[in-house]
Structure 1
């Protein structure tokens, strides 16, 4: 496989060589979380970082290689590809310099950094020492991967491959676009031991927009791009889960608002959103470039963080 036409070797249109012939790749009717899991596997095979986005682009009707949906999320490519005539191709973007491995979601795992970017034939990935990594560094990584802010930073959570090789200390200020844009210490340290590799959990990209506070507004989620969430409001457990994830207390009110000509994400039926798997409930029921553009979106008002009042009582005798 290869990515062509992008800004780097880790971004562009996905092409596959099958039965001796290179063709652009396409998939089924939807782009969803399970497709993103497959994209993560493609990025690893290409020796790139984590999958950041997977989109469909309209092209002229042509012969493509179809990735068979039943093979998701772990493609065995020779058995999962067939010839297909279609008018949309897959655009995949992987990160160039960082990736998360062995996590419970696309936004968690053991952090690895590519420390040999200048030589494509000798790309080298290594974990990072926990002692040389802080909250501001984590904010940069989570943003680089298209995830929400960091919610957990702890070593030895996602497996350890021995003592980390990268021993320079990152000195991010928190606003950098990529981790390798950050300054790092000039001298290396040799004090890092096995079991001290950085384990990072970024929050899943969820937000409320257009309301009176950050805990009120239209629910939007990011799976490659930000979209409002189409809802059929089956239960109140979903709004409660979103409020909890946003650290906004419990839900207070849920309303529907009709939108048109706006791409939306759809929540799968019978999917229980939780702190680590909300993105797993998303899909885009799109079969054309028009996407899913008409329906009800969720207007959510959360209670906000509870106010804790400390009362000091002095008893006089």
Structure 2
């Protein structure tokens, strides 16, 4: 066999096209995009996968590629019904490690063996992704907890709900730490389905979907028991009214509102933390210039940093909103402009 032909055969057996293009995948006949008979698109036609060697590692890759949650089962024997007789069986002997980002990166043989029939079509069941949101609050980080299942948003009952469960929600939404684990009366009663009950997270899970709970829709609750969660808003800061984005009046975001920082105890070390957090250059000087005077809250006072903190949030300071200052004492910081 010629060398070029041997290379082409090796590429084929490893499941990688000459362009290393992704292999489109879909699940059909399963009732949701996250379960069904596996089909792949090649040469402009959807075809099936023979179940020879098909296992949970292969299913895990399919679920990941489709944006679903983890694989529950890898099915053989055309559990979701056989493909049409005229449809091709594109792949067989798929051998994923389970960590690949797409099925096309797994070793496989192209085209089913002669003894593969559609009665051997592979199937997959993944856990549906479970979108989570907080509604009816003042920011996306506080409100009535709702999850989406089967295309419909519904609420969560507060039976067994606690701080560990709220930690998972705040983490999944990219918010700060939990302020109130359950404020069930604060955000009003939901309508429609109550999807989850008896949620029991450890607090270490990355998403609510990974926590033990009753089956979807199985509950003994009313909407008076809808969970409400208050997380801290993610910490943000900015410099305003300066000659460039790395110089100006320092403002921090808290409780859905931007406010200023009082200059009591403010030192160069504090400014170093600000410049680093904003990905600007080093501190030029402590800017004492006062351009336009701010309005609104003064959020922080008596801030003391060591200079090694990654964020101003980790520096010592008074309780948010407590101060003895006026806006004439607002901190201004001047850093070198960030590099292009």
Q: TM-score category by the smaller chain?
A: 0.3 to 0.5
Higher relative contact order (Cα pairs below 8 Å, separated by 6+ residues): 1
TM-score, length of structure 2 as denominator length: 0.36
Specify which structure has the higher proportion of strand: 1
**Looking at CA atoms only, which structure, 1 or 2, has the larger radius of gyration?**
2
TM-score, length of structure 1 as denominator length: 0.39
